[in-house]
Amino acid sequence: MADLDIAGRSALQLAAVMAGGAIDAEAVAERTLAAIRACDDPAIFIRTTPARALAEARAAAHRIRAGRPRSLLEGVPVAWKDLFDIQGFTTTAGSRVLANDPPAARDAPVVARLADAGMVCVGHVNMTEFAYSGIGLNPHYGTPRNAHSPAGDPRVPGGSSSGSAVAVARGLVPVAIGSDTGGSVRIPAAFNGIIGLKTSTGRYPTEGAFPLSTTLDTVGVFARTVLEAAIVDAALCGSGVPALVPGRIAGTRILVPTNVVFDDIEPAVLANFEAALARLQAAGAVIERVALPVFDAVLALTARLGNLTAAEAYTLHRGRLAGPEAAMMDRRVVERVRGGGAVAMPDYVTILQERRRMVGEAAALFAGGAVVAYPTVVHTAPRIAALEADDALFYRINGRTLRNTNLGNFLDWCGVSIPSGTDDAGLPTALLLSGAHGSDDALLALALAAEDVIRGEARALAAR
């Protein structure tokens, strides 16, 4: 037990060594907490929960020894984005403004569900303040460095679930939970080369999670493999074991949009996407390149009437913006949220009405189990220093970063971001598979079958 290295092990690998008696859950928790303390990037975690982690781990170890594990995830560590309530700790949502708020009286329902599955809570991870950016900068708690940053060249982690992605990508924890309103799970997953699952709205309860947009907020999962994301998803749905078998690539229609999502794309992102698409086609997928006018309609509606997320964020934060707390907030967040105040009530209602219509129309795309595929983000992770120094550049890159994923949020799609390769600097790229609202199980089944093909792993290609 003393020599067993747990760093970077996936959730199922950890579960297997605990079940086999090579190490117990308490030792896993102790080593996880020690690795977090020793990490050279203190901006990944905002706070750890050692007393809770060790208590949960002891209970998990007892159940494992007794042969009564609660789930496949018994004893596995998990980290939570700092907008989910953890009993006894203040939820700060990446902000200093909330630092003096009272501790949470109870766990958020999703936190309780993973605790019920036997997972071990190790703490809150960093995030963009109030979850409002796809970049991941945080001037209050520091900006986590992208796990694949070249030496001496720190890159952004992606946001807003920055710490969640980096914690998994660096092997500090095998699973982390984030939120996704405009891409806040899929973007950092893409930038850090891991799996990011964005679920349909309403799949899990969002009570006990600090909101950004009450219309668009969803909960998502970061993991090292699709299988593990699916197992965590099942636990978040309140089920011990996922009723999931791999789908079939052969015969699956994959719609590749010819408009919007390839604008301003970097060559390496495009090359890796096209190579992954070719592998999927070789495995029997039916690739259809089609224009999706609904994408242009979403962008046109936003340009004409305003941003839905900004409008709802302004409603939530308008009191703060009018008082002294605004001076304590990230200036970029303040400026973007204030923009939501320009959305008039009639326009807000029209946006919601048009969204319902577009969601209904777009649902027809998925007839017969079709999915939509395009690059998660059109560029790899940019440099932190450049974006911190130039607000105009930040706003421009943030908009480009969010564009592709935000389309899926507006249309209420579920999605899985899967690594597709790297660029010449070793920075990850990713392919996004999206399905209609409520098709999460079917999408996960397809992603389970397609993951290794998209990654380009030889063992998967040989098997097929």
Predicted confidence (pLDDT) per residue in 57-73, tens digit: 999 999 999 999 999 99
Give 126-148 pLDDT, tens digit per residue.
999 999 999 999 999 999 999 99
pLDDT of the residue at 2 = 52
Tell me how many domains the chain contains: 1
Q: Within a domain: residue 425?
A: yes
CB of 137 closer than 8 Å to CB of 384 = yes
List 10, 71, 81, 417, catalytic entry: 81
CA nearest to 198, candidates 433, 380, 455:
433
pLDDT of the residue at 401 = 98
Active site residue 184: yes
pLDDT of the residue at 464 = 29
Q: Within a domain: residue 331?
A: no
List 95, 133, 149, 160, catalytic entry: 160
Computed on alpha carbons and rounded to an integer, the radius of gyration of the chain in Å comes to: 21
Q: Within a domain: residue 12?
A: yes
State the CATH number of the domain containing residue 19.
3.90.1300.10
The verdict on pTM exceeding 0.95 is yes
pLDDT of the residue at 437 = 97
pLDDT of the residue at 459 = 35
Q: Within a domain: residue 185?
A: yes
Q: Within a domain: residue 348?
A: no
Q: Which residues of 40-67 are buried (b: 16+ CB within 10 A; e: fewer)?
A: ebebbbbebbbebbbebbbbbbebbeee
pLDDT of the residue at 3 = 72
Active site residue 81: yes
Non-local CB neighbours of 459 within 8 Å, separated by 6+ positions: 452
CA nearest to 218, candidates 239, 233, 235:
233
Q: Within a domain: residue 406?
A: yes
Q: Within a domain: residue 121?
A: yes
Q: Within a domain: residue 115?
A: yes
List 149, 179, 184, 420, catalytic entry: 184
Which range of residues forms the domain containing residue 381?
Answer: 1-292+362-387+395-464
Residues of the chain with pLDDT under 50: 1, 458-464
Question: Cα separation of 348 and 285, whole Å?
Answer: 40
